[in-house]
């Protein structure tokens, strides 16, 4: 039996633009997700449910292996989400940490979850969620990011421009897309990560990216900051920060020794 259950596309009734996936701001959106069931579901879970939040340009698909491992090791439900403007979730012109955190809070509410463990990677959505909706969160795991202002790598803009160029060229194979990207990005693993967003509809010959490139480009400056700076705003529950020793996303000066 497959322990992955993909959610059906579900979008709340809103006022729509001409794009069927575009939702009039500032409404929250219904997030797509995959659920990984524990191997012994009838037993009492060994851990609270876990919600995994991917990073920029990522999706729930990046966490399939680890999600399944967490579910089996901890005998608990694991929910891997697609944040707005990522993966299969709806697109919206509003793209900031506060509204993304509110999307996740609505997901928790809709699924009757309590005291969840939030695992947030790369972006600050998990931390903002913990500060805005602490009662719903039991524990927080922050991976390769920190609650600081850190200007995003200029390469992110270049990545978006390369993806836009691929769309403009009208490539018809993934190999062609990789060849275009190779002229700008030498790292094979990074190219394959970005190309996970490349999709082609059944009736189309050309590939395109499922993420809204212009919206993400316009939001990069906003995503480089952290929206909470008051000493009175704090998350008072267990929190684990995980930083890669070879990663440059969290400056050494911001790591407590």
Give the DSSP letter string of 23-51.
E-TT---PPPEEEE--SSTTSPPSS--EE
User: Is residue 92 located within the same domain as residue 164?
Assistant: no
User: Is residue 143 located within the same domain as residue 159?
Assistant: no
Note the pLDDT tens digit of each residue in 167-190. Answer: 999 999 999 999 999 999 999 999
pLDDT, residue 229, reads 60
Q: How confident is the model at residue 244 (pLDDT cuts 50, 70, 90)?
A: confident
User: Is residue 136 located within the same domain as residue 194?
Assistant: no
More confident residue, 17 or 154: 154
The number of folded domains in the chain is 2
Share of the chain above pLDDT 90, in %: 58
C-alpha–C-alpha distance, residues 236 and 185, integer Å: 41
| pLDDT tops 80 at residue 138 | yes
Contact 210, 197 (CB under 8 A): yes
pLDDT, residue 228, reads 67
156-160, 205-209, 247-251, 253-257: least confident range:
253-257
Q: How confident is the model at residue 9 (pLDDT cuts 50, 70, 90)?
A: very low
Coil, strand, or helix at residue 252? helix
Which residues on neighbouring strands pair with residue 198, listed in sequence order? 209
What is the CATH classification number for the domain harbouring 49? 3.40.50.1820
User: Is residue 122 located within the same domain as residue 202?
Assistant: no
User: Is residue 145 located within the same domain as residue 159?
Assistant: no
User: Is residue 62 located within the same domain as residue 120?
Assistant: yes
Range of the domain at 115: 4-150+225-254
Note the pLDDT tens digit of each residue in 22-70. Answer: 444 468 999 999 999 998 877 776 689 999 999 999 999 999 999 999 9
pLDDT, residue 2, reads 40
pLDDT, residue 149, reads 59
Note the pLDDT tens digit of each residue in 198-222. Answer: 998 778 889 999 999 999 999 998 8
User: Is residue 205 located within the same domain as residue 78?
Assistant: no
218-224-227-228 Cα dihedral, nearest 10 degrees = 180
User: Is residue 132 located within the same domain as residue 243?
Assistant: yes
pLDDT, residue 19, reads 42
pTM for the full model?
Answer: 0.83
Which residues on neighbouring strands pair with residue 118, listed in sequence order? 51, 140
User: Is residue 198 located within the same domain as residue 233?
Assistant: no
C-alpha–C-alpha distance, residues 12 and 44, integer Å: 33
User: Is residue 31 located within the same domain as residue 141?
Assistant: yes
Contact 30, 45 (CB under 8 A): no
pLDDT, residue 234, reads 80
User: Is residue 104 located within the same domain as residue 176?
Assistant: no
Contact 78, 52 (CB under 8 A): yes
| pLDDT tops 60 at residue 16 | no
Share of the chain above pLDDT 70, in %: 79
Coil, strand, or helix at residue 62? helix
Mean pLDDT of the chain: 83
User: Is residue 19 located within the same domain as residue 131?
Assistant: yes
């Amino acid at each position: 039996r497959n322990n992955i259950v993909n959610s059906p596309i579900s979008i709340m009734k809103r006022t729509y633009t001409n794009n069927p996936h575009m939702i009039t701001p500032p409404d929250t959106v219904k997030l797509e997700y995959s659920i990984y069931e524990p191997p012994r579901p009838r037993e009492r879970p060994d851990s609270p449910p876990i919600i995994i939040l991917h990073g920029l340009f990522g999706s729930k698909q990046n966490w399939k292996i680890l999600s399944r491992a967490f579910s089996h090791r901890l005998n608990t439900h694991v929910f891997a989400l697609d944040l707005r403007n990522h993966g299969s979730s709806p697109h919206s012109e509003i793209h900031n940490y506060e509204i993304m955190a509110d999307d996740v809070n609505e997901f928790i509410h809709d699924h009757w979850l309590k005291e969840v463990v939030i695992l947030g990677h790369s972006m600050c959505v998990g931390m903002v969620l913990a500060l805005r909706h602490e009662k719903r969160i039991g524990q927080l795991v922050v991976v390769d990011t920190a609650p600081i202002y850190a200007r995003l790598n200029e390469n992110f803009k270049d990545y978006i421009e390369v993806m836009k160029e691929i769309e403009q060229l009208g490539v018809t194979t993934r190999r062609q897309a990789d060849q275009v990207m190779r002229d700008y990005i030498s790292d094979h693993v990074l190219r394959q990560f970005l190309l996970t967003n490349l999709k082609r509809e059944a009736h189309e010959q050309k590939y395109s990216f499922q993420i809204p490139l212009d919206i993400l480009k316009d939001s990069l400056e906003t995503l480089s900051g952290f929206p909470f700076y008051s000493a009175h705003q704090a998350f008072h529950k267990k929190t684990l920060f995980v930083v890669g020793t070879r990663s440059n996303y969290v400056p050494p000066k911001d790591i407590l020794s």
